[in-house]
Structure 1
Amino acid sequence: MATSRGRHKNDQQAAEQAQQAGKLNKIALSSASANSPGELSMHYLLSYQLADDYLARRGEFRSSHLALAWRAVEQGELVLGGAVGDPVESALLLFNVDDMAKVEAFAKADPYVTAGLVQSYRILPWHTVAGESAATPVR
């Protein structure tokens, strides 16, 4: 027969396991595409190599670039984005989408790219395995 202390410990362990399972389910759901229920998303990094005169020229295009970025956020595709370095040398944008073509479409529509403030860009699949927002959590 289990003691009340043993039952309490088992109940606490069961509650912790249920809470952990709930967190994993929440992560899996947050990784699913908003447009395709049940279809899993993948993280992609959009890496911009910036032109030497980027800082001098970005003011003219910044509001339209940011409008595009915030639309992607509202659509659940862009997670984070911003300039890298001090002084700025590049930019990174983190996407969580079900198709890399969506990242490519973003880059091709970005005023920074079309105006030549971005010399080149790369789209890199990022196989995230750790963290609350990992696309494929592995423990």
Structure 2
Amino acid sequence: MAASGAVPPPPKYWVLRYEYVADILERRGPYREAHLRGAQAKLATGQLVCAGATGTPPDGGLFLFKDISQEDVEAFVTADPYFKNGLITSYKISNYAVAVAVCGCKTDTLFGTKELKTV
């Protein structure tokens, strides 16, 4: 808690959505290890909460970032080997207001920040 007794602001979350090329499974091989290393690096800093592919077969990816600027998420995209090598056809960065969470994530409520407990 801040010295003034004020409740600190809730964490800022961002969702990053990728749309992949149709033949992602055939084309990602040379870039996948570096793509995953980039995600692991953000995970290690605590700025990436989770990430993974969407669809079966994969047609996109989804990343949940926390306590990071939108510009830093944009920089993550432009540094991603999938982006650099044309495997991402489009992406979207959206702010995300957490309403319900587990694992000690903090949620924004009408009355400040509340830590949820798992049962």
Instruction: Give TM class, smaller chain.
Output: 0.7 to 0.9
Q: TM-score, normalised by structure 1?
A: 0.67
The ranges of structure 1 where at least 4 consecutive aligned residues each deviate by more than 4 angstroms after the TM superposition are: none
| Structure 1 segments unaligned to the other structure (5+ residues) | 1-24, 26-37
Name which one, 1 or 2, has greater alpha-carbon Rg.
1
Corresponding position of 2:86: 116
Corresponding position of 1:82: 52
Shift of 1:134: 3.9
Structure 2 residue corresponding to 1:52, chosen from 22, 26, 29: 22
Higher helix fraction (1 or 2): 1
Structure 2 residue corresponding to 1:126, chosen from 75, 89, 96: 96
Shift of 1:67: 0.7
Q: TM-score, normalised by structure 2?
A: 0.78
Corresponding position of 2:5: none
| Letter paired with 2:84 | T
| Residue 136 (structure 1) aligned with residue 108 (structure 2) | yes
RMSD: 2.0
| Structure 2 segments unaligned to the other structure (5+ residues) | 2-7, 115-119
Corresponding position of 2:4: none
The alignment of Structure 1 onto Structure 2 pairs a total of residues equal to: 103
Corresponding position of 2:32: 62
Identical-pair percentage? 33
